[in-house]
Homo-oligomer: A and B are copies of this chain.
Amino acid sequence: MITRGPSLTEQVRQHLKQRIVEDGFEEGRIPPETELAAELGVSRTTVRDALSRLAHEGAIVRRQGAGTFVNPAGLRIKTRLEEMWSYEDMLRDHGFTPSVEVLAIETGPARQDTAEALQLADDGTVLTMTKVFYEDDDPVVLTTNHVPAGLLPDEIDEQDAAGPIFELFEREANAQLSYYVSEVVPIVLDGVQATSLDVTAGTPAISLDETGFTGEGTPLVHAQSILRDDLLRLRVMRRQAGT
């Protein structure tokens, strides 16, 4: 087992994930942890950490005393809301090959909710970038990002805005986007939103209203992303806490 690059645990996770999706386990039963550890030449702890991640993803179910098993229902989950990072990657996980169109890049005064989220002074100015993610000719996600003016250089062009925003922060502001706090809001689309997403106004949709932070807790971006429910259905696994 090679050991450079990703952690051992991650390598074991990927190895097992691959065997799972390729249906490489008899009757969906995964070998005992001690056996996997011996086979892969790692400690049982490492195997357990890898299995824990797979269980969290929903790919497997562990039953104390009985064994570990493939979870067909969980394998259908493509959108792990709490581990969703860039929309590009999420769409790729759905088997899409996404493209991006930048609709607008503009600077102006912040709306009040944006000023609060970004902890700006009252007269704060923000850079606003609006883009749409497409699968073939179908618009799937409409995203608006608000960033405090001055954090990014002035000469942001469409090329820059088209990529994932966390890459933009790393490259242009030397800042690391660490996590988002997101609200899941049900809306009906207004005329402008409906036009951008190529559906009729009044269609229900999910809006993710969220703020992105650095590891230090500094808000970097306030964003709204509207998902076309008919093309992109959020699906999650719910279980009891503390497991």
A46 at the interface (CB under 8 A from B): no
Q: Which of A31-39, A97-105, A107-115, A179-187 contacts B (4 or more CB under 8 A)?
A: A179-187
Number of copies: 2
Chain B residues with CB below 8 A from A130, complex form? none
Chain B residues with CB below 8 A from A77, complex form? 181
Interface contact B238-A81, CB-CB below 8 Å = yes
A237 at the interface (CB under 8 A from B): yes
Interface contact A181-B215, CB-CB below 8 Å = no
A85 at the interface (CB under 8 A from B): yes
CB distance from A161 to the nearest CB of B (A): 20
A175 at the interface (CB under 8 A from B): no
A120 at the interface (CB under 8 A from B): no
Q: A182 with B236: in contact, given A73-B211, A217-B61 (CB under 8 Å)?
A: yes
Q: A241 with B85: in contact, given A183-B234, A213-B73 (CB under 8 Å)?
A: yes
Q: A72 with B217: in contact, given A186-B204, A236-B184, A242-B10 (CB under 8 Å)?
A: yes
A205 at the interface (CB under 8 A from B): yes
Chain B residues with CB below 8 A from A84, complex form? 238
Chain B residues with CB below 8 A from A10, complex form? 242
